[in-house]
Structure 1
Amino acid sequence: MFTKRKSGVLLHPTSLPSPYGIGDLGDNAFLFVDQLKKGGQSLWQILPLCPIGYGNSPYQSISAFAGNILLISPDELVKAGLLTEEDLAPVPDFGGPDTDYDAVKAYKLPLLRKAYQNFQNDPEESTLADFEAFCQKNQYWLEDYALFLALKAYFTARRNQGKEAEEFRLFQQETVDFLTAEEQTAYFESAAWCTWPKAIRRHNAQTVKKWTRLLAARIREEEFYQYLFSAQWQAVKEYANENDIQIIGDAPIFVAYDSADVWANQKLFQLDSKGFPTVVSGVPPDYFCVEGQLWGNPLYDWKAHKKTDYQWWTDRIRKSLEDVDILRIDHFRAFESYWEVAFGAPNAIQGVWKKGPGMDFFRTLEKELGKLPLIAEDLGIITDEVRALRKEAGFPGMRVLQFAFGNDRNNAYLPHSCDFNSIMYTGTHDNNTSRGWYAEATEEEKDHYRRYLNVDGSNVAWDLIRLAFASPAVFAIVPLQDVLNLDGNSRMNTPGIAGGNWGFRFDWSQWDEGFTQGLYYLATLFGRCAGI
């Protein structure tokens, strides 16, 4: 898997062009594959495909297994006979180029309901058979996920109607010692699973069966949406593979608290008797944030996972590798040790390092799944122990050129310090664009960059693309923003800032033919061109 020099582009499907306010899995996804092939590229890296969560982030999802149904293409639903062209009109004016997620949901979710109603009213035999086969294959996660969404919808509707005042009073009494009044209201109004009646909150088997019967119609609807997503995504992946392009996916190491994963598997997480986290995830102060980053995800009970031979993780990685060819494991260092912060802490400064499952975890997964095509995201505070774990596991690590320049002439991210078993990036989704980075860099960083590349700084993005492709790393990946030479207004995410992220989209008018030619030229020059 990691033996031949390759290169590719980082672009999440939400960032594709589309008239429907958000990139989707329609024609533009296939056109993007065509452009990659024309440019001699053989890798397409994406962000997590799972449903978005807090702040529209794909790293705070309600499921580690499900797909983001906002990516479903309305045009593909028309081709499938589930919608008509008239159903799509009128298409709203979604404003600027960035994704307005609220406006997208207001337009697309009713379309999905219409598609489901049409399917229910007149199911095409082959589609029905495919749908039933999908549900059967994915039963191990799909049933809990669909029930979770159905329950949230049910309790949200009741609370919007003011029918649960007594339950709110009881929830306030139960949580008065550790939640503020504002937090209590937020949990309750969002119908977080910790606010549900006790039996279903605890995922009691008999109660689950009861609610599954009561909400059967909504459950089947949610299952159908997942089927539609899977069918469209698999068509894109198959097209990419047919064109010798591999998909690199992304698996966040942690899951959101208010998720189907935590609700259905509470014994696998560090929760108290009321179902709340005792400790949560984060990282100490670093390059991105002086107070550290308080992610707030519940932490795993690794002893409990080990007792099951890491079955939940095995299922998760297996499912991910059905959707992608290679998988980046976000925050790899947490498998060696992770930053533990007390639940309710105001920031991540006062935390402690705790040991992760280490090599035992990866050995167990390999026994079940075979050789793992994983990339270790080993950025941030990396110790000798983390380096040793990655080396023993054999996974390539990440190198980011935006971190390479300054006063250290042997910086680990500089190409002359990089080994073959590495993935070289100009920047990631958490970085500024390369143009934006240079505009904000220190004079020392700018000077080092100019002298290292023997350039004047007038074409930073393509200078760094060239350097990434020339590096010894087995893979070189560049964000599309750098290919298009965009400034800092086009970055995907700013860590530590809750709002205004994940909205970047490009337009084909920004893609000059010279960019495709440039990618092909550099891929050929540095031995990364597909088919050569």
Structure 2
Amino acid sequence: MSVPVWPRSSGVLLHPSSLPGPFGIGDLGPMAYRWVETLAAMRQRWWQILPLTPTGLGDSPYQTYSAFACEIKLLSPELLEQEGLVSSSFWAGVHLPEEAVDYPRVHAFKLALLREAWGNFRAGRASHLREDFAAYCAREAEWLDDYALFNALRDALGGASLPDWPAEWRKRDAAALAHARHAYADAIGMYQFGQFLFDRQWSALRRYAAERGVQILGDIPIFVALDSADVWAHPELFLLDEELRPRVVAGVPPDYFSADGQNWGTPIYNWERLAARGYDWWIARVQRQLTQVDLLRLDHFRGFVQAWHIPAGETTARNGRWVDGPGRALFDALRNALGTLPFFAEDLGYITPDVHALREQLGLAGMRVLQFALNGPADLHWPHNYERNCFCYTGTHDNETIVGWYNNLNPSQRHYLEKTVGKRLEDPAWDMIRLAWSSVAVVAIAPLQDLLRLGNEARMNTPSTNQGNWRWRFRLQQFTPDMIERLAEWTHLYNRVVHS
């Protein structure tokens, strides 16, 4: 099976929302370009991001309103000003917190910003964008039209979730939707324009990164939210009842992260229906993602073999059962359509031999996380047990930071860690970065929090919680030249510099 062969390399995990800047959230503007320059100075091949899709429940990019759309909260006001769409006077006097993302305030500001840009565009400004916008709408119509209408209807209902919509809208009555398209044409156009602007800003940033030897490592969640344009437009592809409510929802049983497991509340695919259609929806989804990134992390790879089906209405994930997924058939269809499999697998948690077998059959790299390596000498997460075809992480977006993790270890755990590493850990974050970079893993990744030696106040996400996540942002003064020089030196020392 054809899979990419990635060179020995390394990178940093940082979602754009965590970049510094004056607009309450990181965006695709000047600071993103400066970040790319910093990655290049550190001699990193990969900028790993989280899903770029619109954040949903709990502000999570893994609970998205669309598997195809992107997050307009990441639009850069400064770049919109450069396009002639808005004036800086629009945000004069606007003061948004810079320490952490305040999602409700940021959403209100960015939506107002988009509305201003759309109004100015309709009034004749930025005429150089007209042909490109029309071409974009035609090219992306298959998902864009439904997504824009979904948002317009949702707004008209005051943000009501899909299960609470009037039946004629929820069940896509043709006459009702025709009327809505006419009544809400302006809002529909605005949401289409927002996606066009995002793709324009992101494509320019990605080109800038590629010119400096930096590639984008993306993330594709296996499931989509119930409250999504995908479920609304394609209910036949999910296990729903006649009222479009899920019969079962996805999650994972009790594990390392939670004694109750994780109940994600996301509907599960009707894999039989997808198979009958040649997995066309999944192929289109991946093709869309690959216009934005160079490589995709397959979130919850285990779910492609078997998914944890939780009866709808359960508040925890304890009472579920494993049900077979599509297995290799999906990936054969993707390979036939794409010519390759540009993925690596998030194969963490409760992994059975059949999951490892599928990953190995497909030739996909798996993940190893140093924080999980304290279960004895045979633990797969210790570098001395690695195979080359894996991605090594100090931690992921779901983990504590290394400093927070180390501080929470008990004395016996610290003793075992230091005995295995072979030294006293006086600088735990950078000691673990060295361990990852020096490993045989083909790719080594560290979250920026670990480079900055930050504690759990900088944690990105705590699984099984819906509040206070995804908010972390760094500050420029936290970066020092010696960090850049040190990582560049280690990347060279451990043969992770990719030469063009």
Q: Structure 2 length as normaliser, TM-score?
A: 0.97
Aligned CA distance change for structure 1 residues 266 and 86 (closer, same or farther; 3 Å):
same
Q: Is 1:92 aligned with 2:92?
A: no
Q: Structure 1: which amino acid aligns with 2:440?
A: P
Q: Is the Cα–Cα contact under 8 Å of residues 425 and 478 in structure 1 kept in the other structure?
A: yes
Equivalent in 105, 108, 111 of residue 109 of structure 1: 111
**Cα distance in 2 between the residues matched to 1:9 and 1:3:** 16
Matched residue, 1:147:
149
Q: Structure 2: which amino acid aligns with 1:324?
A: V
Q: Is 1:502 aligned with 2:447?
A: no
Matched residue, 1:415:
383
Equivalent in 472, 483, 488 of residue 515 of structure 1: 483
Matched residue, 1:485:
453
Q: Secondary structure of the equivalent of 1:456?
A: coil
Matched residue, 2:431:
463
Note the 1:171-182 alignment, pairs <5 A: none
Deviation at 1:530, TM superposition (A): 3.0
Q: Is the Cα–Cα contact under 8 Å of residues 2 and 421 in structure 1 kept in the other structure?
A: no
Q: Please say which of residues 442-451 and 293-302 is displaced more in the overlay.
A: 442-451
Superimposed CA distance per residue, residues 439-466 of structure 1 (whole angstroms, 9 cap, x where no aligned partner): 1123332112211222222200000100
Q: Secondary structure of the equivalent of 1:17?
A: coil
Gaps of 5+ in 2: none
**Cα distance in 1 between the residues matched to 2:90 and 2:476:** 26
Q: Structure 2: which amino acid aligns with 1:340?
A: H
**Cα distance in 2 between the residues matched to 1:193 and 1:409:** 49
**Cα distance in 2 between the residues matched to 1:46 and 1:197:** 37
**Cα distance in 1 between the residues matched to 2:165 and 2:307:** 30
Q: Secondary structure of the equivalent of 1:506?
A: coil
Q: Structure 2: which amino acid aligns with 1:44?
A: W
Q: Structure 1 length as normaliser, TM-score?
A: 0.92
Q: Secondary structure of the equivalent of 1:486?
A: coil
Q: Is the Cα–Cα contact under 8 Å of residues 72 and 110 in structure 2 kept in the other structure?
A: no
Aligned CA distance change for structure 1 residues 523 and 122 (closer, same or farther; 3 Å):
same
Q: Structure 2: which amino acid aligns with 1:40?
A: R
**Cα distance in 2 between the residues matched to 1:447 and 1:497:** 31
**Cα distance in 2 between the residues matched to 1:431 and 1:498:** 15
Deviation at 1:195, TM superposition (A): 2.6
**Cα distance in 1 between the residues matched to 2:299 and 2:41:** 30
Matched residue, 1:528:
496
Gaps of 5+ in 1: 157-189
* Sequence identity percentage: 44
Q: Is the Cα–Cα contact under 8 Å of residues 2 and 474 in structure 1 kept in the other structure?
A: no
Equivalent in 344, 357, 368 of residue 399 of structure 1: 368
Matched residue, 2:59:
56
Deviation at 1:202, TM superposition (A): 1.4
Matched residue, 1:285:
254
**Cα distance in 2 between the residues matched to 1:151 and 1:102:** 19
Q: Is the Cα–Cα contact under 8 Å of residues 6 and 442 in structure 2 kept in the other structure?
A: yes
**Cα distance in 2 between the residues matched to 1:2 and 1:293:** 34
Q: Structure 2: which amino acid aligns with 1:144?
A: D
Aligned CA distance change for structure 1 residues 357 and 93 (closer, same or farther; 3 Å):
closer
**Cα distance in 1 between the residues matched to 2:100 and 2:244:** 37
Superimposed CA distance per residue, residues 315-342 of structure 1 (whole angstroms, 9 cap, x where no aligned partner): 0000000010001110000000010000
Matched residue, 2:17:
14
Q: Is 1:299 aligned with 2:263?
A: no
Q: Is 1:442 aligned with 2:410?
A: yes
Note the 1:265-276 alignment, pairs <5 A: 265-276=234-245
Q: Is the Cα–Cα contact under 8 Å of residues 390 and 441 in structure 2 kept in the other structure?
A: yes
Q: Secondary structure of the equivalent of 2:313?
A: coil
Matched residue, 1:45:
48
Q: Is the Cα–Cα contact under 8 Å of residues 114 and 190 in structure 2 kept in the other structure?
A: no
Deviation at 1:61, TM superposition (A): 0.6
Count of residue pairs the alignment pairs up: 497
Q: Give 4+ residue runs of structure 1 displaced > 4 Å after superposition.
A: none
**Cα distance in 1 between the residues matched to 2:5 and 2:177:** 44
Deviation at 1:93, TM superposition (A): 4.4
Q: Is 1:32 aligned with 2:24?
A: no
Aligned CA distance change for structure 1 residues 282 and 93 (closer, same or farther; 3 Å):
closer
Superimposed CA distance per residue, residues 120-179 of structure 1 (whole angstroms, 9 cap, x where no aligned partner): 1014332011111111111010000000001111122xxxxxxxxxxxxxxxxxxxxxxx
Superimposed CA distance per residue, residues 504-531 of structure 1 (whole angstroms, 9 cap, x where no aligned partner): 1001100011111111111101110132
